[in-house]
């Protein structure tokens, strides 16, 4: 039983169901792991007492009919959790305790899971390395000098280090897929509107989407099934029948058409990324899929478009953090304006301020048409590229990131190089599509690399199936030495 925590979620669920392990034993095992992994700085808040309480409750009256029966889960600290601190990696929400539960986490708890703790993340999910968090950077279990990716870096780190059996993150421009890629785990950004945004601290409303981060594709389908669903409290939520992704998971992908976009072969891309992509193509081809060259001509505009749209929305979404009603308030200042200025100066970190400034600028009168409006038009073209391609193919295969995990501090003084990390992931958010990042291999340093499968809107089942088949034939396995404990 000692190594229960390095098993997949589905294996753990099986063990609980067959009473090989109790929910309490499972929870205790994770708590032990978490206490031994403080060096990773993956958790900002733990809810051990509450978790143990819930585990006992489950063991006393086990209900094994649920998707996540008796499983403790840690979640990104961007999800509001009732009576549990929710701080979004920011000083401005330091010690903020919501009186409400986000729809997505509530869905998890309604499926039998319970909260283990809250996971560190980049401040307001703005970052690709988890270095912008007010609560300190998170370390990648792959190596003590490596970033875990971002913004869901606490989630990827905790998952890879066996501190939670599965987790959830949010993905605005790659914040699930890039950290998954950096830690050798599976991450899915669902179709925009599949998971409710209600109760998630907002970054960029038209791009934000919650999704699962797991060790296997099967786990991913279970988590997605549990967390998704229509929510009338979110006007952008899609009203459709709930799907049973895990039950319908199939590894037969014979005859499926896989698009290979030529624009994703970018300049200066490391050779090993290219090789990884080739490997992926070969695996899918060997499984009977048909590879088709496609073109997504507006790809090169995706990153600049993203860095206009996302900061614009963020500058407005973050206006509510003014020190008036909740969160951090500066004690300095002689009037309302000074209170605002001091509160926001002291409450926000540099990256958040940078994006608020960019966002405010691109929405300003005189600049709106040149930046925001144009970006929205380009966004439509990017979406159209995908729509056109999906008349010809079932899914698209690309690398997840242009590199493996980089060193802590390596890019902190070069925001543009940091932003470039999202080059393969942001087009998907702009188009509102689902995309799955799968661990696919290692670079020459032995760091994990991921491949991305992009699907049609609401075609999660198909990319999960392809991922499932890929996973079985890829032979990738995370071998992480627990150097921290």
Which structure tokens are listed for 187? 């991450």
Whichever of 329 and 456 has its CB closer to other proteins, that residue is 329
Look at the block and give the residue holding tokens 């949010």. 170
Minimum CB separation from other proteins for residue 360, in Å? 7
Contact of 142 with 182, CB cutoff 8 Å: yes
| 236 touching other proteins, by CB under 8 A | yes
Whichever of 236 and 412 has its CB closer to other proteins, that residue is 236
Distances 366 to 360, 361, 372 between C-alpha atoms, Å? 12, 10, 11
State the maximum Cα–Cα separation within the chain, in Å, rounded to a whole number: 70
In the shown chain, the binding pattern of residues 40 to 79 toward other proteins, with x for contact by CB under 8 A and - for none, equals ----------------------------------------
Contact of 441 with 279, CB cutoff 8 Å: yes
Q: Which residues ranging from 298 to 317 are in contact with other proteins (CB under 8 A)? A: 312-313, 315-316
Whichever of 50 and 316 has its CB closer to other proteins, that residue is 316
Minimum CB separation from other proteins for residue 286, in Å? 42
Minimum CB separation from other proteins for residue 313, in Å? 5
Whichever of 234 and 243 has its CB closer to other proteins, that residue is 234
Residue of 48, 96, 109, 476 interacting with other proteins (CB under 8 A): 96
Residue of 372, 386, 406, 447 interacting with other proteins (CB under 8 A): 372
| 324 touching other proteins, by CB under 8 A | yes
Distances 431 to 42, 242, 298, 375, 376 between C-alpha atoms, Å? 31, 22, 12, 13, 11
Q: Which residues ranging from 182 to 201 are in contact with other proteins (CB under 8 A)? A: 197-201
Selecting among 8, 151, 237, 389, the annotated active-site residue is: 151
Count of all residues that appear for the chain in the document = 485
Cα gap 254→266, rounded to integer Å = 29
Cα gap 133→124, rounded to integer Å = 8
In the shown chain, the binding pattern of residues 338 to 367 toward other proteins, with x for contact by CB under 8 A and - for none, equals --x-------------------x--xxx--
Cα dihedral sign for 353, 355, 360, 362?
positive
Residue of 235, 239, 268, 331 interacting with other proteins (CB under 8 A): 235
Which structure tokens are listed for 238? 């899609």
| 368 touching other proteins, by CB under 8 A | yes
Selecting among 102, 133, 156, 175, the annotated active-site residue is: 175
Which structure tokens are listed for 160? 């890879």
Distances 445 to 63, 142, 403, 442 between C-alpha atoms, Å? 45, 11, 12, 7
Beta 448-455 vs 435-442: how paired, if at all?
antiparallel
Minimum CB separation from other proteins for residue 291, in Å? 36
Look at the block and give the residue holding tokens 């991922």. 467
- Number of residues in contact with other proteins under rule CB under 8 A: 42
| 322 touching other proteins, by CB under 8 A | yes
Minimum CB separation from other proteins for residue 325, in Å? 6
Cα gap 422→172, rounded to integer Å = 10
Alpha helices in 39-143 (DSSP H): 48-60, 103-110
Q: Which residues ranging from 202 to 231 are in contact with other proteins (CB under 8 A)? A: 202, 204-206
Look at the block and give the residue holding tokens 């921290």. 484
Q: Which residues ranging from 247 to 276 are in contact with other proteins (CB under 8 A)? A: none
Residue of 326, 354, 384, 420 interacting with other proteins (CB under 8 A): 326
Whichever of 77 and 471 has its CB closer to other proteins, that residue is 77
| 93 touching other proteins, by CB under 8 A | yes
Selecting among 76, 118, 411, 456, the annotated active-site residue is: 76
Cα gap 48→72, rounded to integer Å = 10
Minimum CB separation from other proteins for residue 326, in Å? 7
Minimum CB separation from other proteins for residue 248, in Å? 29
Which span sits near other proteins by CB under 8 A: 51-59, 67-75, 98-106, 182-190? 98-106
Q: Which residues ranging from 437 to 466 are in contact with other proteins (CB under 8 A)? A: none
Beta 395-399 vs 257-261: how paired, if at all?
parallel
Residue of 144, 232, 274, 278 interacting with other proteins (CB under 8 A): 232
Minimum CB separation from other proteins for residue 364, in Å? 6
Q: Is 151 annotated in the active site?
A: yes
Q: Is 175 annotated in the active site?
A: yes
Cβ-in-10-Å burial (0-12, 13-18, 19+) of 271 comes to exposed
Look at the block and give the residue holding tokens 């279970």. 222
Which structure tokens are listed for 134? 């007010």
Going across the sheet that includes 435-442, the strands are 167-170, 210-214, 186-189, 435-442, 448-455, 395-399, 257-261, 290-294
Decide: helix, strand or coil at residue 24: helix
Q: Phi, psi at residue 182, to the nearest 5°?
A: -75, -15
Minimum CB separation from other proteins for residue 239, in Å? 12
Residues annotated as part of the active site: 76, 151, 175
Binding site for other proteins (CB under 8 A): 80, 86, 88, 93, 96, 98-100, 102, 197-202, 204-206, 232-236, 312-313, 315-316, 318-320, 322, 324-326, 336, 340, 360, 363-365, 368, 372
């Amino acid at each position: 039983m000692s190594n229960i925590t390095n098993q997949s979620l589905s294996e753990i669920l099986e063990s609980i169901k067959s009473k090989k392990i109790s929910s309490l034993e499972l929870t205790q095992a994770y708590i032990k792991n978490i206490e031994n992994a403080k060096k990773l700085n993956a958790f900002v808040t733990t809810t051990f007492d509450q978790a143990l309480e819930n585990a006992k409750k489950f063991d006393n009256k086990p209900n094994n009919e649920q998707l996540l029966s008796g499983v403790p889960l840690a979640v990104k600290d961007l999800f509001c959790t009732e009576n549990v601190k929710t701080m979004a990696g920011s000083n401005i929400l330091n010690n903020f305790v919501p009186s409400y539960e986000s729809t997505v986490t509530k869905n998890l708890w309604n499926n039998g899971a319970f909260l283990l703790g809250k996971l560190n993340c980049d401040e307001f999910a703005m970052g690709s390395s988890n270095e912008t968090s007010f609560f300190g950077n998170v370390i990648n279990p792959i190596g003590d000098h490596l970033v875990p990716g971002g913004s869901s870096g606490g989630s990827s780190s905790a998952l890879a280090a066996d501190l939670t059996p599965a987790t959830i993150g949010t993905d605005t421009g790659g914040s699930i897929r890039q950290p998954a890629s950096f830690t050798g785990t599976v991450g899915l950004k669902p179709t925009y509107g599949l998971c409710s945004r209600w109760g998630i601290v907002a970054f960029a409303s038209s791009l934000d989407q919650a999704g699962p981060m797991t060790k296997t594709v099967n786990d991913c389908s279970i988590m997605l099934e549990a967390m998704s669903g229509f929510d009338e409290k979110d006007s952008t939520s899609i009203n459709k029948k709930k799907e049973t992704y895990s039950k319908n998971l199939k590894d037969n992908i014979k005859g499926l058409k896989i698009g290979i976009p030529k624009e994703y072969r970018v300049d200066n891309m490391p050779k090993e990324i290219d090789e990884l992509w080739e490997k992926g193509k070969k695996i899918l081809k060997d499984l009977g899929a048909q590879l088709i060259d496609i073109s997504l001509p507006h790809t090169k505009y995706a990153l600049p478009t993203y860095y206009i749209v996302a900061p614009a929305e963020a500058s407005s979404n973050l206006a509510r953090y003014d020190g008036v009603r909740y969160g951090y308030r500066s004690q300095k200042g002689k009037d309302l304006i000074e209170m605002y200025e001091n509160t926001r100066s002291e409450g926000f970190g540099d990256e958040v301020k940078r994006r608020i400034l960019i966002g405010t600028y691109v929405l300003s009168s005189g600049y709106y048409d040149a930046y925001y409006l144009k970006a929205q038009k380009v966004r439509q073209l990017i979406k159209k590229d995908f729509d056109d391609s999906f008349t010809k193919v079932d899914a698209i295969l690309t690398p997840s990131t242009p590199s493996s995990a980089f060193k802590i501090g390596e890019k902190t003084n070069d925001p543009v190089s940091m932003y470039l990390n999202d080059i393969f992931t942001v087009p998907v958010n702009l188009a509102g599509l689902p995309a799955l990042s799968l661990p696919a291999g290692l670079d020459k340093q032995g760091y994990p690399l991921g491949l991305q499968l992009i699907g049609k809107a609401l075609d999660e089942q198909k990319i999960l199936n392809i991922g499932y088949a890929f996973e079985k034939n890829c032979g990738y396995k995370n071998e992480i030495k627990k150097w921290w404990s």
